[in-house]
Structure 1
């Protein structure tokens, strides 16, 4: 029996197939995959989907998600994608085998925590090659690697970078070659192997498949391409993957024929916006039990091609169902495919139930 609405249905078998496809594509180019679980908060259905796919690490930016991963007893190394705050240092050492870092202050604290715990903590030192999110500036890399290498509780595993997130800078042969060159400079200056070069995320896949990725890049951190089957540079379907991996499910709580434009003088809506309306005449309009507190309506695409998302308030999603492919009534479930942003929002909302899809829909 399906859970309550609104809910998120996770099609684990389809995500499993996507992960295997991408792992094989990456392996053909000498690249290992760290599977990023953060968009689904390391949900158990996702973790099961990633079993036996060939991934070599499980990666997340949140310690509570890494704790969920640890509770599964996985033998895979874990990677913390966001540098820990000062109150999270001990937990980071406990829950993550490796973390992405750029601050010597943070790495010193991690070293102290690792020494107290009788272990060593791996770090990948991040370099900013243009996207302007995290990472040391290139001319500081050798200095930072040299200092980190002297910390007694730290193993400097390699270098990495992040692209196409904050600044939208796309991975290129030029910025990837720059990353390799910087690694080589740090290797020569310190004598460290620095064997791991993490070139980025799902946005790197097109460059890899083009054959222009430098052969030294040997790790990518892949989330969206596995979970949603999308090329993150343009959101087109990624070759060899499925896009029907996640459904957002809501329920019709009102069904009425109404005009398609408001009656009376209009001003700002509840969110301070002046909304424009298209006059389609009188239409059959469904109100569903989902709202902006859960997801931006623009991040939902109805699975039924006859449905049109009109908008939403905090708790009410309004859908034109006049041309619905099947009959609808109060209680009918209406399904949507989310964008990455829509999935992030619904997965984060405590009001949205999350579950593995029932077998009859696999």
Structure 2
């Protein structure tokens, strides 16, 4: 929805010896009550489906106000692709919870992973060997999840590759293989099928015998996998489902759908209009924009057209993951510092200093938490 600015509030900040006036905008609004409700609903659904939810925290930099909601609700396992976020979580909750590294580990991270009892996903025999060697040196066992490739073309052992090297895997005496894990709809848009779980279950049963571990579990990610439990009454047994999008946005972006049992709209970006003018872009000689993308201009629109420049850009947000309630306004695109709106068809009289408000999707929330230029505002 659009919202008109009712004043020009500013925050003075001292930088060195200079008093600088810094704007309160743009900001990211985080509705904690919606997130709490989604987390509680997710817990109930997973309990019905005999799934253990693993909270993926990378999309919001493991922000403590959100992770506290998860922890207080009874979430016992956190997953992230950045060790710094996992260390932050360990410092806050200690080892009352478990922590998974869901980005394949780099060699130089192995000591930190072992020292902090983080469970990594691993897809290379060489890395398994290094974990085994380091664990032996530290007189500590290392728990790992074997990443399995199921069609997305990203990380993971091919099942036949793993089975062909099973003797080597079994020989790693200082490793405990606690589970096998997979991810879909991350790179290639491949959606999970019931056959995906059937193949994982078959592989898990074989590995249980080879590894003498009847407790070996299956971990799937992400939110896209919920569709299988919605559609089938009894899918093959799975231990964990790793998700972030579900409780954050109540959506499944891989299928362009909202999950009707969860709430949407927990995140909004609010930013200020800093220019309103009618513009006629020059179309005589066109190259690429500042990010190397091909530039296009429609010849069907009647130019000049009214454009609004909003003081937020690609360093802060993803312009494809902003949703504006004024259907007569089009997002033209964004540069580092500006979001450009076409307001020609709008019935609203936008002016300098007006605030515009967008519902924020995953890409925007991710960048907003990473950006030091975006204020954070929490509402209960």
TM-score of the aligned structures, taking structure 2 as reference length: 0.84
SS of residue paired to 2:93: coil
2:355 maps to 333
**Which residues in structure 2 correspond to 1:109-120 (within 5 Å)?**
109-120=130-141
SS of residue paired to 2:66: helix
| d(CA) in 2 for partners of 1:93, 1:280 | 62
2:312 maps to 290
8 Å Cα contact 2:99/2:119 also seen in 1: yes
Per-residue CA deviation, residues 202-225 of structure 1 (Å, 9 max, x unaligned), is 110011111266332121101111
| d(CA) in 1 for partners of 2:311, 2:52 | 41
Compute the displacement of 1:18 (Å). Answer: 1.2
8 Å Cα contact 2:197/2:236 also seen in 1: no
Compute the displacement of 1:167 (Å). Answer: 2.4
Compute the displacement of 1:198 (Å). Answer: 0.8
- Point out the structure with the larger strand share: 2
**Which residues in structure 2 correspond to 1:299-314 (within 5 Å)?**
299-314=321-336
**Residue 203 (1) aligns with residue 193 (2):** no
1:72 maps to 92
Compute the displacement of 1:157 (Å). Answer: 0.7
Compute the displacement of 1:327 (Å). Answer: 5.9
RMSD: 2.6
2:270 maps to 249
Aligned length: 356
- Pick from 36, 59, 68 the counterpart of residue 48 of structure 1: 68
| d(CA) in 1 for partners of 2:315, 2:85 | 22
| d(CA) in 1 for partners of 2:119, 2:166 | 15
Distance 1:340 1:145, change over 3 A: farther
8 Å Cα contact 2:309/2:341 also seen in 1: yes
**Residue 267 (1) aligns with residue 289 (2):** no
8 Å Cα contact 1:36/1:58 also seen in 2: yes
Distance 1:130 1:232, change over 3 A: same
| d(CA) in 2 for partners of 1:124, 1:298 | 34
SS of residue paired to 1:8: strand
8 Å Cα contact 1:12/1:48 also seen in 2: no
- Pick from 31, 35, 45 the counterpart of residue 25 of structure 1: 45
| d(CA) in 1 for partners of 2:170, 2:212 | 10
8 Å Cα contact 2:27/2:377 also seen in 1: no
| d(CA) in 1 for partners of 2:362, 2:233 | 27
Compute the displacement of 1:284 (Å). Answer: 4.1
Compute the displacement of 1:59 (Å). Answer: 0.5
8 Å Cα contact 1:18/1:227 also seen in 2: yes
Compute the displacement of 1:62 (Å). Answer: 0.6
Per-residue CA deviation, residues 309-351 of structure 1 (Å, 9 max, x unaligned), is 1222222111234566866443332221233233333333343
8 Å Cα contact 1:305/1:325 also seen in 2: no
Unaligned stretches of 5+ residues in structure 1: none
**Which residues in structure 2 correspond to 1:103-182 (within 5 Å)?**
103-142=124-163, 144=165, 146-182=167-203
| d(CA) in 2 for partners of 1:213, 1:290 | 47
**Residue 351 (1) aligns with residue 351 (2):** no
Residue range with higher mean Cα deviation, 313-322 or 262-271: 262-271
SS of residue paired to 2:252: coil
| d(CA) in 2 for partners of 1:177, 1:333 | 51
